[in-house]
């Protein structure tokens, strides 16, 4: 993963809306007085949610002032964590896991599909401007590899064909069913097997 | 005290020291990149690994506190192998560009890889590329060389007090940058160049100028402000290539201000290299004889009380003393003045014009009150000490009037002189604070000594402090912050109007003098009428522009000279190069001028001058009470701290291109939010 690029197009102003401001204040109250800077990660996440799933520079400045800390310290945090998006992302944001278990089960085939069907590069909006994708590290669903996260939901046990169908549905603004795409209930064993007895490769 | 064993040597260290410091005490050298005595501990370079008994892995000695009974080994094969491993990782992404790197020859990584480096690399992958970062006109970056020691970040945040540097990204993609690549807004910024153990941050004005081993190094002192930072001047032939700090824990620790470091290119520009005489209203180059003749003719025909002399802001004490002798013996006049503005100075005792708490002492002060001063620009190094104190003790700092960002928070109170009256009359809340505190420091700037009520403020405040036992043998709370390097030395030599009145300055304003001799004085505020002006100095600036005769002198790097810093320490600046062209050392000019006028030298040689100077200083212990405190009255007025043009405060800085560039950038910068 290369260093995160900062979007060139930046909104001039950012401010928490009323609800988020209340939430932010209540988060800050969780910390002792004078340690309000500890709330920076939570506030960045709030800002990301408010601003179509990405954090503009004005939001970082706003949060720095809000928490009385230097701009660069907020900037450091925002560039460090991969889950903060610093460029606009699609309304439908695919995060493809490519860590070892998913990679072994063919995650890069999914990446190829994303490249073909969404955009050639990561974090670049598709032609219709609705979707974008990103390679990420382990999302903790290795049992259902290969998988990806679409906005808040996991789509598991995928293969290139199924992913193509998902992307096609998305482009018609239909949200496909999350979960396993091989008919499993969450991560139950396949073929209703209960033990490993009799499994040669176990 | 803790007892440890390092390489079978027993050492005793104080509690709170690290293993690295303990090893050093035992005489074992530990390689390091990220660790620095004056900064917080990061522990991220891993170069300082040592072996500890009962520890399965080598430990990072810089980050491990020493404990009772530790048994450490620093010279085993295991340690060496571990450090070699670390070095291999550091070099994996470090470019092999030492031949074109400015750090070459004084690079920590280069030196240490001589011991721990491996001659070939096992890394077949491409080296990392990091784009250059803009960090202002002083710092050149080449971030591919960065090894992420984070010394620069820690320096900017802790010492300089401008948290503008940071590390963005993570892992292999970590990069050091300023916020959105803005110039660092600090007067100490260039110290990160010295701190950088590799060539990632190097000096922009010095880029590709010279190699460290070609330079002649002269250990001397700085004259850009009254602090008297200890510096090393590196010269190549005649030219001063760069100025570096020298460690002096009592004064500048390891830091110097940007002006000290980078005004040195002003030593090459705007120089007066030959005498000039004004003929038909035009300055024409001439020989020394012609110039001396022109001067001596005028001086011998004028009445001695119509001649006045003014000592400049960077004049060394030899010159000042020679000028004093010249006026007393050759001209027989008392009109020699070192001030250029009407400052109230009580010369009864020396402590009346010194920074008595001392630069080092300010660190233990528990209450600091700034009256009419902005230490950030008037004495940058002192300001960093105040910040250090604030960080350590959360000391209460109070300023009369808002003076802008000082890199630490302070309480602003009314800047009316009434406030001072209230404090003295025990009517202000601060009176209680002063009484309660053990080591208060009251810092008076020159801006307050200029006021009409300056005698009242100074004398009454001193009385108040004496009454409350804050001026004693072990602590003196009264501090005067002088701006210029020559100020305290001139007071020591009594170069002031009689009874430190403003007689000479008043006469100057009223154009009562016929001849003015300016010894490097460029700051006089008067309108020239019919005065014949002789300028003895190094740079073509304000003084030279109004002069009728110019006698080219030397700067602080071109002559030996004593300076007394603001806390009264006598230090010597050494000659690092030669005055350009026909220019001579200042004392020599005065000596020769005297021989032209009186057919008699003032001194046989420089040694005689120095002996006589030191003798004068020793005799003159200021116990004589020839100073009479004038009658004073309270007057209600505003104490306005004069804004100083930091990057252009003296002739050398004004002639420096680097300083002008810094000034332009600082002026064009919108206020960033670092002060929130």
B427-470, pLDDT tens digit by residue? 999 999 999 999 999 999 999 999 999 999 999 999 999 999 99
* pTM attached to this predicted model: 0.90
Q: B673 pLDDT exceeds 50?
A: no
A115/A134 Cα distance (integer angstroms): 10
B386-420, pLDDT tens digit by residue? 999 999 999 999 999 999 999 999 999 999 999 99
User: Which stretches of B387-511 are assigned E, i.e. beta strand?
Assistant: 396-400, 411-413, 440-445, 478-481
Q: What pLDDT score does B498 carry? A: 81
**CB–CB contact B673 A80 (8 Å):** no
Long-range (24+ apart) CB contacts under 8 A made by A123-127 are: A123/A5, A123/A85, A123/A87, A123/A89, A125/A88, A125/A89, A125/A90, A126/A90
Q: Which residues contact B423 (CB under 8 A, 6 or more apart)?
A: B430, B431, B434, B461, B464
Question: Band of the pLDDT at B676, cuts 50, 70, 90?
Answer: very low
Give the CA angle between residues B483, B487, B493 to the nearest 5°.
Answer: 170
Residues 45-64 of A with CB under 8 A from B: 57, 61, 64
Judge whether B164 is closer than 8 Å to chain A, CB to CB: yes
For residues B470 and B441, the answer to whether their CB atoms sit within 8 Å is no
Parallel, antiparallel, or unpaired for β B282-285 and B307-311? unpaired
Strand arrangement, sheet containing A148-150: A131-136, A92-97, A148-150, A153-156, A179-180
B446/B344 Cα distance (integer angstroms): 9
B221/B235 Cα distance (integer angstroms): 15
**CB–CB contact A73 B168 (8 Å):** no
B590-644, pLDDT tens digit by residue? 999 999 898 888 999 999 999 999 999 888 765 555 778 888 889 899 999 988 8
Question: Band of the pLDDT at B670, cuts 50, 70, 90?
Answer: low
Give the CA angle between residues A91, A93, A98 to the nearest 5°.
Answer: 175
Judge whether B178 is closer than 8 Å to chain A, CB to CB: yes
Torsion (CA) B574, B575, B579, B584 in degrees, nearest 10: 70
Mean pLDDT score, B1-26: 93
Tell me, rounded to whole angstroms, the distance of Cα B102 from its chain centroid: 25
For residues A109 and A103, the answer to whether their CB atoms sit within 8 Å is no
- Grouping H, G, I as helix, E, B as strand and the rest as coil, residue A11 is coil
| Closest approach of A36 to chain B, Cα-based (Å) | 14
Q: Which residues contact A193 (CB under 8 A, 6 or more apart)?
A: A199
Q: Which residues contact B628 (CB under 8 A, 6 or more apart)?
A: B499
B226-262, pLDDT tens digit by residue? 999 999 999 999 899 999 999 999 999 999 999 999 9
Distances (CA, A) of B545 to B294, B512, B529, B541, B589: 18, 20, 14, 6, 20
Residues 101-120 of A with CB under 8 A from B: none
A158/A180 Cα distance (integer angstroms): 8
Q: B378 pLDDT exceeds 90?
A: yes
For residues B416 and B343, the answer to whether their CB atoms sit within 8 Å is no
Length of chain B: 676
**CB–CB contact B169 A71 (8 Å):** no
B552, β-bridge pairs: B537
Q: Taking the CB of residue B44, how many other CB atoms lie within 10 A of it?
A: 16
Tell me, rounded to whole angstroms, the distance of Cα B657 from its chain centroid: 19
Option in B173, B175, B673 nearest A71 (CB) = B673
Judge whether A83 is closer than 8 Å to chain B, CB to CB: no
**CB–CB contact B673 A65 (8 Å):** yes
Judge whether B167 is closer than 8 Å to chain A, CB to CB: yes
Contacts B170 to A, Cβ<8 Å? 79-80
Name the residue among B184, B194, B164 with its Cα closest to residue B256: B194
Q: What pLDDT score does B675 carry? A: 41
B165, β-bridge pairs: B178
What are the tokens at A75? 């900037």
Judge whether B173 is closer than 8 Å to chain A, CB to CB: yes
For residues B47 and B83, the answer to whether their CB atoms sit within 8 Å is yes
Mean pLDDT score, B150-175: 92
| Closest approach of B407 to chain A, Cα-based (Å) | 13
B88-142, pLDDT tens digit by residue? 999 999 999 999 999 999 999 999 999 999 888 888 888 988 988 999 899 999 9
**CB–CB contact B676 A69 (8 Å):** yes
What are the tokens at B317? 């004490």
Name the residue among A118, A142, A123 with its Cα closest to residue A83: A123
Q: Where are the alpha helices (H) located in B166-305, listed in sequence order?
A: 191-195, 258-262, 288-301
Taking the alpha carbons at both ends of chain A, their separation in whole angstroms is 34
Q: What pLDDT score does A7 carry? A: 86
Residues of chain A scoring pLDDT < 50: none
Q: Give the sign of the dihedral formed by CA A50, CA A56, CA A62, CA A66.
A: positive
**With pLDDT > 90 as the criterion, what percentage of chain B qualifies?**
80
Helix (H) or strand (E) holding B367: strand B367-371
Reported ipTM: the value is 0.85
């Amino acid at each position: 993963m290369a260093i995160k690029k900062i979007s060139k197009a930046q909104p001039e102003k950012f401010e928490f809306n009323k609800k988020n401001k209340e939430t932010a204040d209540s988060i800050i109250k969780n910390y002792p007085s004078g340690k309000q800077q500890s709330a920076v990660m939570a506030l960045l996440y709030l800002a990301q949610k408010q601003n179509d799933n990405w954090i503009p520079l004005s939001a970082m400045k706003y949060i720095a002032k809000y928490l009385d800390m230097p701009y660069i310290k907020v900037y450091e945090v925002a560039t460090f964590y991969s889950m903060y998006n610093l460029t606009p992302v699609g309304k439908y944001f695919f995060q493809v896991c490519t860590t070892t278990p998913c990679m072994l089960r063919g995650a890069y085939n999914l990446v190829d599909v994303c490249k073909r069907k969404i955009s050639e590069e990561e974090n670049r909006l598709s032609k219709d401007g609705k979707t974008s994708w990103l390679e990420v590290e382990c999302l903790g669903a290795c049992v259902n590899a290969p998988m990806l996260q679409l906005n808040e939901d996991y789509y598991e046990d995928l293969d290139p064909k199924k992913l193509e169908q998902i992307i096609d549905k998305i482009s018609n603004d239909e949200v496909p069913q999350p979960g396993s795409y091989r008919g499993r209930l969450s991560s139950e064993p396949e073929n209703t097997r209960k033990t490993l007895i009799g499994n040669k490769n176990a | 005290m803790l007892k440890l064993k390092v390489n079978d040597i027993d050492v005793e260290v104080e509690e709170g020291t690290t293993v690295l410091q303990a090893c050093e005490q035992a005489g074992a050298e530990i390689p390091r990149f990220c660790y620095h005595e004056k900064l917080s501990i990061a522990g991220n370079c891993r170069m300082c690994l040592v072996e500890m008994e009962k520890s399965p892995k080598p430990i990072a000695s810089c980050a491990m506190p020493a404990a009772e009974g530790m048994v450490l080994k620093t010279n085993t094969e295991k340690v060496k192998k571990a450090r070699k491993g670390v070095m291999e990782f550091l070099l994996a992404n470090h470019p092999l560009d030492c031949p074109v790197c400015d750090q070459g020859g004084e690079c920590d990584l280069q030196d240490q890889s001589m011991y721990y480096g491996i001659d070939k690399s096992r890394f077949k992958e491409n080296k990392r590329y990091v784009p250059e970062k803009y960090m202002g006109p002083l710092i050149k970056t080449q971030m591919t060389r960065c090894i992420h020691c984070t010394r620069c970040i820690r320096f900017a945040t802790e010492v300089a007090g401008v948290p503008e540097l940071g590390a963005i990204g993570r892992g292999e993609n970590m990069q050091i940058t300023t916020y959105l690549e803005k110039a660092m807004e600090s007067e100490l910024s260039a110290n990160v160049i010295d701190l950088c153990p590799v060539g990632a941050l190097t000096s922009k004005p010095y880029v590709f100028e010279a190699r460290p081993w070609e330079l002649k190094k002269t250990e001397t002192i700085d004259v850009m402000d009254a602090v008297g930072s200890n510096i090393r001047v590196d010269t190549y032939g005649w030219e001063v290539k760069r100025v570096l700090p020298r460690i002096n824990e009592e004064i500048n620790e390891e830091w110097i201000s940007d002006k000290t470091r980078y005004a040195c290119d002003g030593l090459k520009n705007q120089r007066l290299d030959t005498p000039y005489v004004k003929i038909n209203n035009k300055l024409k180059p001439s020989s020394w004889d012609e110039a001396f003749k022109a001067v001596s003719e005028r001086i011998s025909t004028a009445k001695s009380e119509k001649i006045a002399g003014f000592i400049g802001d960077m004049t060394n004490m030899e010159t000042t003393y020679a000028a004093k002798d010249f006026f007393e013996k050759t001209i027989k006049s008392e009109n020699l003045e070192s001030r250029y503005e009407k400052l109230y100075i009580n010369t009864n005792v020396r402590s009346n014009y010194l920074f008595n708490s001392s630069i080092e002492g300010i660190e233990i002060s528990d209450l600091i009150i700034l009256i009419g001063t902005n230490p950030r620009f008037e004495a940058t190094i002192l300001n960093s000490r105040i910040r250090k104190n604030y960080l350590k003790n959360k000391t209460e700092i109070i300023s009369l009037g808002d003076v802008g960002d000082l890199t630490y928070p302070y309480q602003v109170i009314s800047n009316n002189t009434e406030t001072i009256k209230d404090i003295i009359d025990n009517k202000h809340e601060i009176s209680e604070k002063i009484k309660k505190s053990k080591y208060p420091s009251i810092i008076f700037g020159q801006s307050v000594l200029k006021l009409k009520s300056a005698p009242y403020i100074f004398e009454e405040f001193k009385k108040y402090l004496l009454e409350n036992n804050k001026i004693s043998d072990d602590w003196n709370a009264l501090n005067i912050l002088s701006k210029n390097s020559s100020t305290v030395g001139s007071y020591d030599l009594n170069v002031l109007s009689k009874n430190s009145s403003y007689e000479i300055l008043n006469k100057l304003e009223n154009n009562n003098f016929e001849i003015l001799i300016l010894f490097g004085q460029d700051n006089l505020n008067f309108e020239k009428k019919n005065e014949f002006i002789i300028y003895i100095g190094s740079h073509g600036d304000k003084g030279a522009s109004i002069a009728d005769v110019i006698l080219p002198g030397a700067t602080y790097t071109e002559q030996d000279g004593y300076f007394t810093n603001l806390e009264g320490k006598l230090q010597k600046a050494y000659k690092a190069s030669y005055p350009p062209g026909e220019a001579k050392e200042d004392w020599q000019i005065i000596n020769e001028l005297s021989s032209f006028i009186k057919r008699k030298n003032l001194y046989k040689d420089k040694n005689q001058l120095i002996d006589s100077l030191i003798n004068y200083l020793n005799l003159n212990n200021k116990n004589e009470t020839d100073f009479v405190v004038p009658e004073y009255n309270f007057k209600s007025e505003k104490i306005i701290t004069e804004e100083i043009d930091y990057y252009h405060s003296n002739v050398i800085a004004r002639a420096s291109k680097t300083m002008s560039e810094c000034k332009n950038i600082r002026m064009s910068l919108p206020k960033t939010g670092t002060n929130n």
